Structures are given as C-alpha cells and as structure tokens.
Structure 1
Amino acid sequence: MGKGAGRLRSGMARLAYGNPLYSLMLGGRAPGALAVVPPDPWPGDSGDGSALLAGVLRFAGQSVAIDPSGEPHWRPPGASPVWLRALHGFDWMRDLRAVGGDMARRRARVLVWSWLDHNGGWNAQAWTPDALGTRVANWIGLHDFYCASADDEFRARVFESLARQVRHLDRVLPAGLDGAPLIAAIKGLVYGGFCLPGHDKAGYDALRLLDRALPRQILPDGGHIERNPSVQLRVLRDLIDMRAVLRVARVDIPESLQHAIDRMTPALRFFRHGDGGLALFNGGREEEPALIDTVLAQADARGRPLKSAPHVGFERLMASRTLVLIDTGAPPPPGLDGLAHAGTLSMEVSVNKERLIVNCGSHPAQRGPWRAALAGSAAHSTVVVADINSSEVLDQGGLGRRPSHVGCERQESEGAVLVVATHNGYSKGFSLLHRRRVYLADNGEDLRGEDILEPVIGAHPSEQPFAIRFHLHPSVQPTVVQGGAQVNLRLPSGNVWRLRATGVMLELAESIYLGTGDEPRRSAQIVMQGHSGPDGVTVKWALRRERKAA
C-alpha cells in the first residue's frame, strides 16, 4: 500500500470509528468471566521482564524509559510503528510472568489499567486489527497470571473492554490485512469468540476467515508465503494457539487448520541450523531455540525436515554434519513482501552446531537505514552485479523490481546432492542471468560451487563488475593464505575449512551480523570480485574441511 492510500485509509478509519456514536455501537452486555481459559505454554524473557519492572520498555530494537512506578506514554514520540505494535500487543506480559512474584503481577495490572484509561476507545495506533487481535489473545491467554486474583472492579473493566474490542474486530476483519498480520487478527477473534460467553458468532466468523486465508498463505510444502523463517514460526504458533482454544471450548477443529499445522511443522524444522536457531532469509532471525522447541512440541505433528521445499522456494542439502540452505525461490508477491530481502540464490552453511557462512540478518525495527543495508543483495551470501540489488529494496518495506523467474533443479546420488538454480533479476539493465551450482559430497566435508553470469539468449552484455560474497558468522576466524588464493576458516571447535576459488582473488572485508539481539556484531566476509564480459563469466569455488595432521 502506498503512502497516499495509507493516509486515506487511516483518515476514513478515524471518521468511521473515532466518534462517540461508534463507541456506543460497541456497547453491550459484558461477560463477568471467561467461558474457558486456554493454555499458554510459551516462555517469556525474564531479562526483558526485569527491565520492564525497572522502567525500560525494550521492543523492536528500541528502548523507551518510563517511571517504574508510573504509567507509560502509550504513544511516545519517536517510537517506531513496530515498537508501538509490540507495546499495544501485550506480548511483553509473558516476560513479566517469567519474572514471577506479586510485583510482576501488580505491574501487569497497573499497565492494563493504564491502557484502559488511555485507549479504551478506538484510536489508530492501539486498535489496528493485528495489534488488537494480539492483545485480546494475550489478555485472555494470560488471564490466570494478571486477572484471576484481581479485584472485581479491575476484572469488570477488563471484560467490558475485551467485549468491545472483539465486537470491533468482528466488524472490520479482514480489514485489508494479509499474511501474518491477518492470522494474528483472526487469532484474537477466535480467542474472543470462544472464550467470552455469548460471543460464539465472532468465533465462527473467525473460522470462516481462517478457512479462506490458510490455502493462500500456507503453500503445499508447508512453507509460509512470506518466505521468512521467523514468520513461519510465528504463524505456526498462532495456529497452534487457535487449535488449543477450540479444544478447550470443545469446538470441532477445521480440517484446514489441522492440515496447516501438520504441513508447517516439518517446514519449520527445514529452516533450523544445527545450533537450534533458524536461518536468516527475508528478514528472519535466529529466534530462541527453546521457543522453537516448544512450538514443535506443541504442534504435535510428526514428519522429518523436508529436503526440498519447491513451493516456498528453498533447498536443504545435508550430509553427515554439514548443512547447506539455499534460497531458490522468487520473492514473495507484492503485499506480502514487507519484510522481504533481495537475497535470491543466497546460501547459509553450518557444520554440526556451528554456523559458518551466513546472511547478515535483519534489525528488529525492520525500517530505516537498517532496512536498506540488511535487505540489500550485498548483505547476503550471493552474487551482486555492479553493486545493484537483484530486487529493488523499497525504503518503506517491500520490493519493487524483482526476478520474474527463479528456476531450480535438484539431483541426489549415493548421499551426494547437487542443486542448480537460476534467477533473472539482472536481465533488465544487464542482460545477465545468475546461475548457481552447489554440490555437497556424501561425507559432508566437500562443498563445491559455481557461480555463473551468463548472457540472456541473443544479448551481448557490456562488461560489468561483480562480487561473490560469503558472509561469515562472528565466531569464525578467517585467514588469507597462499597469497590470496585461499582462505582458512577456523570454527570455535577448532575445525578448519579451506576455501579456494579459480578466476578471482579472495579478499577479506568487514561485515556485520544481526541474527540476534539489537546491536550488530562485527564479523568478516569473503569477497570474490571480477568482471563479466560479453560471454559472461564462471567462477568455481570449493570449501573443504582440512584434515588434522596425524
């Protein structure tokens, strides 16, 4: 959605919902208690909870200080939209629960009461459908932590507000949403509909919306259409939560919901490295292995990790202890590409529990200068032509120009795997195709590749500079040897891998890694530079484990 369309929509929303008449329309009989209390098995972060008790709100890579004993500013100046969504979504209440004790419980009540004072009526920031849906689910799911032992006045205010929020959500959905935000909003409607007495209609409305959304969002191989491993985790968790509500409410679980969970679970395992975290594609981050373990356990879906995910567009090469993940798909479609990166044909490599070759990751804020830097092709372990991204990265999120075709073939023989993938993101302007061939031997100790820039049929492209980048995890210690012809890569375990390439010099340059946390970690990258002529160019490289001398 463009800026103009967004302003028009928000202006119309203010006219429609931000008036006293609409507030009256949301009124009605308020429930006095929950019909059912769904489980909430998800871990919180006690460190973030302790910071919150000390008056520091840490969300989306941004920290805002408040009076520890007072109320927060619910729309602080300078807060990013992602930060505001996190504040108004109340996921952080789980962090207070992780701290435990009466102080954390009382703080949760003070903040809920403050929210009711300042946001009880519709406003554009607090009542966006995805933030509202997240908040409703959290207020209901965490009921026993903050609400069960509260006084009657507090409980009455909470339930009256929940009923109003659910009525609004039922009126506005799908509200132009798609992707993970739509699932989050529907989840809130499921919670409100089946946990608040007398709101069943909203619950069944939610299930109809979900039935329409799932076939579009969950692809046949179980990958989520946004192609982001972190979104895969979040959406699967939301679907598991909805199924849990239906179970405790004794409502039949739709086949589409159960099938989506069954398909998404092996696809989530597909994206895990040996250290238990997720690969860094399209705005994804490592995430907490304990949370991933909990999601997989709660999914209760069997199925080994996929070798190939052709619909979402990724390949997984595994031999012995070596894992290679390659982005072999087209970027997500417009409207679902808000977090997407220009990382087509990028590659990540890990050995046992150690990451070796990585993409740079993403900043939690997902906007501003970090977005431009980390979503660009140069922040990925792939080929960049003339310092131009393979997809155009837009400042406000999403992609402009992008590859119209990404093809992939996979062959396996006696434990060895070969993947050949091609994209045409450089056909416009450069008349070049990028073809990447990656071969992993059956012993997992020999990884070979070719990066080929070949002319589009009938074209005679001019000479263009290119760079092949392999970003290294911060724990990897690289050393240039053989006069620049090779690089040794030492892992924390002491294992050494040697990279060789033909036709280019190997150089080390600085890089950054933002797979976890809010601050970038210094790291290194291997850069292979050259020029592509009228007939294109082929660069061959090999990464082999060095055998220790006897």
Structure 2
Amino acid sequence: MRRFRAGPGALVYRTPLYGVLLKSRAPQALGVVPGDPWPGDPRQGEALLAGRFAFAGEERQADLPPWLDLSAGSAWLTALHGFDWLRHLKAAGGDAARRQARVLVTSWLDGFSSWHAVAWAPEVTAQRIVAWIAAHDFFLASADDGLRARVFDSLSRQIRHLARLVPGRLRGVDLILGIKGLVYGGFCLPGRGRTAQRALWLLNRELTRQVMPDGGHVQRSPSLQLQVLRHLIDIRGVLRAARADMPDAVQHSIDRLTPTLRFFRHGDGGLALFNGGWAEDPAFIDTVLSQADARGRPLRSAPHVGFERLAAGRACVLFDAGAPPPSGLDARAHAGSLSFEMSVGRERLIVNCGSHPSETGAWRGALASTAAHSTLVVADTNSASVREDGGLGRRPHPVEAKRRETGGAVLVEAAHDGYRDGFGLIHHRRLYLAENGEDLRGEDKLEGGSGGQSYTLRFHLHPGVHASLSQGGDGVLLRLPSGAGWRLRLSGGTVGLEESVYLGDGPEPRGTLQVTVRGTTAPGGATVKWALRREKKAEGADP
C-alpha cells in the first residue's frame, strides 16, 4: 500500500489556526468554465448509483462511501477522494445521477471540511479540484445556493492549501497533477492570479525536466506517459478558455509526447507493459491522441528514454534498452532491463506480467521483479533491487543501444551491468526482426564470471496464447487465438513450459504460461540463442 505521508507540516495543518489561515472570500461562481473532453463509463456510473464503489481493484458496497475504510488500499482511497469518477455519473445521465453526485460531494464536505492526511494529500487534493471544476455544469450549476456556497468555500481553501504544498514532496507525474490543480484553481476561480502565474512558472520548469527530447516521459512508463499527456491537454484547455498566454513549453511538450505515446502502442491499440503500466483502454488512448491534435508518426527509436521499436509486416516488438528512471522518479519502476514484448497484428504474443493497482507491497515485489519480465535472470536475483514500498535501490546502467536497419530488417543490441557486482556478469541482448515481420531472432549472452551461476531466460505469454513443447524438447509451438502458429526454437539450456500470471488489462490476475530456458554459466559466461518464426500453413491445409 502506498503510504500517505503528511510531512512535517502535519502538526500545523491539524490545528484550528490553520483552518483560519485558509479562509478567504470565496467566489460565488467560476470565472472560467473549462471544457471536459473525457468520456465516462456509463456502467461505472450505474454502479455508483447502486452504491458500489469499485476502484483500483477493490470494491465496497455502501449507501455512502466509506471514506476512511482502514481495510482499503491507498490506491482505492486516492481514487475515491479524487472524485475523477464524477465523469462516470455524468455518463450515466439523468437526474438520479446528478442527485447522487450532490449527495456524495455533500458527504465528503461533511467529513472533510478541515485537513486530513488522506483526503488532503496534495495529489489527491489536486485531482479533486480538477474533478469538481470539470464537472461543475453537471452537478453544481443547478444546485441549491447552500451546496454551491459550501463547494466554492471548500475549493477556495483547498487551492490555498495546495499552493502551500506544491512542489513539496511531489515528483514526476504527481507533480504535473499538482500543478494542474493550481492551474484549474488559479485560472477558473476569480482573484487567483498569483496562483495561476506561479503554476505556469512551475510547469515550464517541470516540462523541461520531465519531457525528454525524444518525447518520452522521464519515468519511463507508457501509462504515465498517457497521464502526463492528458494533464497537459487539460491545462491547455483551461488556458484557452481563460484566453491566457500559452507557454511555448505546453504545446511543444504535447507535440513531443504524442508520437512517443503512439510508439508504445501494440497492434491491439493498448500500451506496452513496462514500469508499472497497464495496456489501458484503447478507446481512451484514441481520445487522448485525438484531443492532443498533434501530428507525428510513431517513432522507430526513443534513445533518450531508452526504448526501441522493431516493426515489420504485422509484427511489433518493443524493447526496454535503457537505464531505469532516476531515484525519486522511480516509484513505479520495475527491474525489467532488456525485457521485450511482441504483438502480431491485433494479438499479443510475448508480454511482461504487468502491474497491480496497489503499486506497493507483495504485488509490487512480485510484478516488479526481473522474473516477471521477458528477459534473462541470474540466480533468481533481480537486475535492480526492488523496494516493496516503491522505487529501486541498486540498479543497472545499460549501455547505449545500437540500432541498424537494412532493407526493412532491424537489429538492436544492448547490454546492462545489473549482475556485475554480485556475479561478475554483463547481460548482452541482440534482437533481429526480418523485413517480413515473420522471423524474430535473439541472442542473450552472459559475459564474465567464474561460472557456476544458474540463469533463466523467460518468455511470458499472453493468456490468449496456447503453447506446447516440441517432441525434441528444443522448442515450443505457440498458437494465437486467430489460429496463427509461431515456433520458438532455443539452444543454450533446458527448455520448459511453466505457469505465469498476467495483470496487463485489469486488477484480476489471469493465469498464463511462460517459456523458460534454464542453465548454468561456464567460466566466462553463457549464451542462449533463439528464433521465433511464423509457421507456414501446409499446402491444402484448412484455413
């Protein structure tokens, strides 16, 4: 569970005096009403109408939300107090949904009119400010004067509190969200000009730090890339609605982030599973890309953020060939150096295991491990030490990837030193995709060491893939749901099929399989060679 850290100011925030300091003349209406381009899910809206509060893989049933349920994970509490789910009630439509939104907002106001470590955490407060302002026309514009006065009074105090905390301990996408809350408060509520200008100053600074020259986000997570792009689209929308000067950095960052988000998409429209990410909803990704209104084809290579894309024919391979994100920006980072994923058309074939919404604890330890990725593991040891409360300790330093393209074929080579200190080994990986996209070849080489270390090369399979070992024991036949067959041949160890787990498209674990190659290093290292080729249908075979 991610811990809510109140920080050194908690003793002050709890006092009645702090509540007095947050008081100011509250506005009676929004000065700027921003658009809200993000669709909600009517099914989730109906669940909220029925008192089912389902977030981050957990569900609670109650007439009113159990705002401080001690058994709930922090990701569930963050989502509940953030109110982004108001858009689902809006999507459900009708007076019942509008009344339920008012009941739930009133319930929150009754319990959290003053500071609380969970409800008033900076990233939670920022999300709630954005959600209440974005849903203003849905639940507040026609509300009675009493509720409107309470909401605007609370918004005023929340914005003043947030302005005291940002940037504070926030980093990465959480800091962009915190700044977004200040932008909404500063430009949409009258009389907040200083807050607005400080928010833009912070935003310019952070975009320089967080958006890499190739358009990748510094935290190296495709899901976080999607979040940052959405935040910037919202910020741009507020500035346009306010007819404020648009900082060049905002549009430039949108223009860079958009092609790189496309870079991380598989053929099914979802995202690759690196560094705490999920496949996400392809329709929502389409909406974000449409709202970005930024041209640019998917990149072939993103060297600054450290990923390579090998695409030919119907095949797409995404390869993590970079260093983990820096300390402080690695809360979601995984020990997945040199892992790869592969899709064929709209079907995923080779995957990483994904992540769990809890982000920390036992699931964090399991899914962030090197063994949960399609790469090589030495002595059941992570290539980077994984902290269960988030972040990495010891970490590898991959060398710069080398990429060569000839006649439509692509070869990428990379290496990391995550096993040098403990075992004296360097892991080298070469991936080659033929120009027709039907032949992927790989070589995993451990270089150095005195020998005697166990290793396992893993290829995690999507749950839709059927796998069977060949009679000779040196390969595996993989069958996609469409019926297309691919044969994986391997040398350099004992080939096996083992159980695995997949959490790429939801919080519920799905059983699947992994292909493994197990062996022991000799003095100087070891080499595993493999080839994944599409099976040709025999002449006269059924289609």
Bin of the TM-score, shorter chain as denominator length: over 0.9
Task: Give the CA deviation at 1:13.
Answer: 2.1
Aligned pair 1:134/2:127, yes or no?
A: yes
Query: What amino acid sits opposite 1:494 in the alignment?
Result: G
CA–CA separation in structure 2 for the residues paired with 1:133 and 1:286: 25
Identify the match of residue 381 of structure 1 among 366, 371, 374. Answer: 374
Aligned pair 1:435/2:449, yes or no?
A: no
The aligned residue for residue 121 of structure 1 is 114
CA–CA separation in structure 2 for the residues paired with 1:72 and 1:501: 53
The aligned residue for residue 61 of structure 1 is 57
Query: What amino acid sits opposite 1:51 in the alignment?
Result: A
SS at 1:509 equivalent:
strand
CA contact (8 A) 2:276 2:354 kept: yes
TM-score for the superposition, normalised by structure 1 = 0.96
Task: Give the CA deviation at 1:543.
Answer: 0.4
CA–CA separation in structure 1 for the residues paired with 2:388 and 2:86: 32
CA–CA separation in structure 1 for the residues paired with 2:474 and 2:264: 32
Aligned pair 1:535/2:524, yes or no?
A: yes
Query: What amino acid sits opposite 2:212 in the alignment?
Result: L
What is the total number of aligned residue pairs between the two structures?
A: 538
CA–CA separation in structure 2 for the residues paired with 1:340 and 1:46: 33
Aligned pair 1:469/2:469, yes or no?
A: no
Identify the match of residue 497 of structure 2 among 488, 501, 508. Answer: 508
Aligned pair 1:206/2:199, yes or no?
A: yes
Identify the match of residue 253 of structure 1 among 243, 246, 253. Answer: 246
CA–CA separation in structure 2 for the residues paired with 1:408 and 1:495: 31
SS at 2:60 equivalent:
strand
The aligned residue for residue 486 of structure 1 is 475
Aligned pair 1:46/2:42, yes or no?
A: yes
The aligned residue for residue 17 of structure 2 is 21
341-350 or 192-201, which deviates more: 192-201
Aligned pair 1:177/2:177, yes or no?
A: no
CA–CA separation in structure 2 for the residues paired with 1:422 and 1:240: 36
Task: Give the CA deviation at 1:268.
Answer: 0.4
% same residue: 61
The aligned residue for residue 522 of structure 1 is 511
CA contact (8 A) 1:37 1:140 kept: yes
Task: Give the CA deviation at 1:55.
Answer: 1.7
CA contact (8 A) 1:97 1:105 kept: yes
469-478 or 366-375, which deviates more: 366-375
Matches within 5 A, 1:149-548: 149-455=142-448, 460-548=449-537
Task: Give the CA deviation at 1:26.
Answer: 1.1
The aligned residue for residue 87 of structure 1 is 80
The aligned residue for residue 32 of structure 2 is 36
Query: What amino acid sits opposite 2:471 in the alignment?
Result: Q
Query: What amino acid sits opposite 1:14 in the alignment?
Result: A
Task: Give the CA deviation at 1:18.
Answer: 1.6
Task: Give the CA deviation at 1:11.
Answer: 5.6
CA contact (8 A) 1:430 1:462 kept: no
CA contact (8 A) 1:432 1:461 kept: no
| CA RMSD, 1 decimal | 1.3
Task: Give the CA deviation at 1:39.
Answer: 1.0
Query: What amino acid sits opposite 1:505 in the alignment?
Result: T
CA–CA separation in structure 1 for the residues paired with 2:257 and 2:517: 37
CA contact (8 A) 2:211 2:253 kept: yes
CA–CA separation in structure 2 for the residues paired with 1:145 and 1:305: 37
256-265 or 166-175, which deviates more: 166-175
C-alpha deviations, 1:178-219, integer Å up to 9, x for none? Answer: 101111111011001101111122111100111111111111
Distance 1:316 1:11, change over 3 A: closer
CA contact (8 A) 1:502 1:540 kept: yes
Query: What amino acid sits opposite 1:18 in the alignment?
Result: R
Task: Give the CA deviation at 1:237.
Answer: 0.1
CA–CA separation in structure 2 for the residues paired with 1:405 and 1:328: 7
CA–CA separation in structure 2 for the residues paired with 1:524 and 1:411: 32
CA contact (8 A) 2:428 2:446 kept: yes
CA–CA separation in structure 2 for the residues paired with 1:147 and 1:265: 33
368-377 or 431-440, which deviates more: 368-377
Task: Give the CA deviation at 1:506.
Answer: 2.0
344-353 or 115-124, which deviates more: 115-124
